[in-house]
Each structure stands twice: as structure tokens, then as C-alpha cells.
Amino acid sequence: MADPAPAATAGTALRNFERMLAAGKDGALLRFGLGNEFLKCGDTAAAVTHLRRAVALDPGYSAAWKLLGKALSAAQRDDEALIAEGIAAAQRSGDKQAMREMQVFVRRLAKQSPRE
């Protein structure tokens, strides 16, 4: 039997984050948390919305760019240009590991996408 605790924890975290947002405590980290929780719940549209806001608030937030790339991929909206911006953000912030991971992600997307 599966443990129901992880789903309950995800729902609780999501409700807490939404309350913080409703209270006017908007910020890149909060939007990242919301995007991450929505992605865990399978709501890719909401995840993309919050993660786009996170990178708009902090364009150098490489972890948010990386998660946005994953959310877009999960939503079947593979936008390599957006990931390239994430790589640039990772380079600017000096986050070499995130930059390498995103470069690998872009190469995999390029192999999957048929070229005309």
C-alpha cells in the first residue's frame, strides 16, 4: 500500500504557498516553490505560469530556469530558446552545473525534434 503522506505534504505546501502569495508576499523563491509543487501535482500549466513569474522576478535564478524547462517539457512545449536563456542566466550567475545540465537537456530536445 502506498504511503499517503507525500501527497498530503505536497497539498499542504501548495496551500501554504498560495496563502503567502494571497497575503502579498510575492517573490522569485515563492513562485519557484509554487511552480515546483504544481509540477509535482501534475498541473503543468500552473507550474509554467509560476515559474515564468519566478524568472521574470529574478532572471539570474538558474534553478527556476531549469525547472521551467522541465515544466515546459512535461507540458509538451519544448521551447529551446527559453532553455537557452536559462543557460545564459546560469552562466551569468556562475552556476556551471545547472548550465551543463541545461545544455544536455537542449541537446536531447534537439535529437527528439524532427528538423525540416
Could you give the CA distance from residue 95 to residue 1 in angstroms, rounded to a whole number?
40
Which domains, from first to last, does the chain contain? 5-112 (1.25.40.10)
Positive or negative, the Cα torsion across 71, 86, 82, 26? Answer: positive
Contact call for residues 31 and 64 (beta carbons, < 8 A): yes
**Threshold 0.75, pTM exceeds:** no
Q: How many alpha carbons fall within 13 Å on the CB side of residue 66?
A: 16
Smallest Cα–Cα separation from 9: which of 45, 37, 39? 37
The DSSP H or E segment spanning 103 is: helix 96-112
Contact call for residues 26 and 58 (beta carbons, < 8 A): no
pLDDT at 116: 45
pLDDT tens over the chain, length 116 residues: 444 444 456 689 999 999 999 999 999 999 999 999 999 999 999 998 999 899 889 888 888 888 888 888 888 887 666 776 777 777 778 888 888 887 787 777 767 765 54
How many C-beta neighbours within 10 Å does residue 57 have? 16
Exposed / middle / buried, residue 13 (Cβ in 10 Å: 0-12, 13-18, 19+)? middle
